[in-house]
Amino acid sequence: MSYAQRKQLSGNRGVSIFMTVAVVGSLMYAIVTGLAYDVIKKTAENLKVIDIEQQPPPPQQPPPPPKDMPKVPPPPVTPPPLVQINTPPPPTIQTVVAPPIPAPPPVITPPAPPAPPPPPRKTVSAQSAQGDLRTLFTTDDYPASAASAGAEGTAQATLTVGPDGRVTGCNLIRSTGNSALDSATCNILRRRAKFTPARDSNGNPTSDTVTTPPIRWQLEG
């Protein structure tokens, strides 16, 4: 056989082998693909969807109480230690006691003197033995100093008359306003006035007081 014929036979054999492999592969693919489809279809038909609703768990029951258990006292609680604060002592208050005040000495009141016996009751008052006392005064009795000053006025006095009828005291109860005229009034009454003395209940002479009438001092002219 010549070289060209051998070369042609070798090419035809290669084509035949390729075609054979292609046909066999196509058949294998078709068989595998068809079988897988049928298996998947049958498996899908056999699957059933079941909707399972999840039930809530039952409530948890409390544990039963323990049977007669011995009562155990709680452990003692120790309080925390107190913080000690150094507090200064309170200040000392010094009390000053004043010495007692001595009581004043008792006041000794001397006994009152005995009261004088009451004067005897007058039954008859003193009376002027010369009548009106104003008649005892004359123009010559006018004091010169009062006359030169032109002083005038009215005087009135209370006289104390002794048991002998004489004037022992003169007290002016109305002044003339001029000292010379007042002094002349009492001096004249002491020297010139005479009284009938007063009498007590036993008829004995006693002292008395007499009020004079108003005595007018007036210049002439």
Q: Please check the confidence at residue 22 and state whether its pLDDT lies above 90.
A: no
Percentage with pLDDT > 70 across the chain: 57
Return the DSSP state at 203. Answer: S
Enter the CATH code of domain 122-217.
3.30.2420
Residues 164-211: tens digit of each pLDDT: 999 999 999 999 999 999 999 999 999 999 999 999 888 899 999 999
For residue 142, count other CB atoms closer than 10 A to its CB: 19
User: What predicted TM-score, i.e. pTM, was given to this entire model?
Assistant: 0.46
Cα dihedral 217, 150, 175, 172 in deg (nearest 10): -60
Alpha carbon distance 193, 215 (integer Å): 14
Q: What's the pLDDT score for residue 105?
A: 74
Q: Please check the confidence at residue 36 and state whether its pLDDT lies above 60.
A: no
The domain limits of the chain are 1-30, 122-217
pLDDT band, residue 159 (cuts 50/70/90): very high
Residues 104-136: tens digit of each pLDDT: 777 777 777 888 877 666 678 878 877 889 999
Instruction: Cite the beta strand spans of 82-207 per DSSP E.
Output: 122-124, 127-128, 153-161, 167-174, 195-196, 198-200, 205-206
Q: What's the pLDDT score for residue 158?
A: 95
How many Å separate Cα 42 from the centre of its chain?
A: 110
CB 170 within 8 A of CB 189: yes
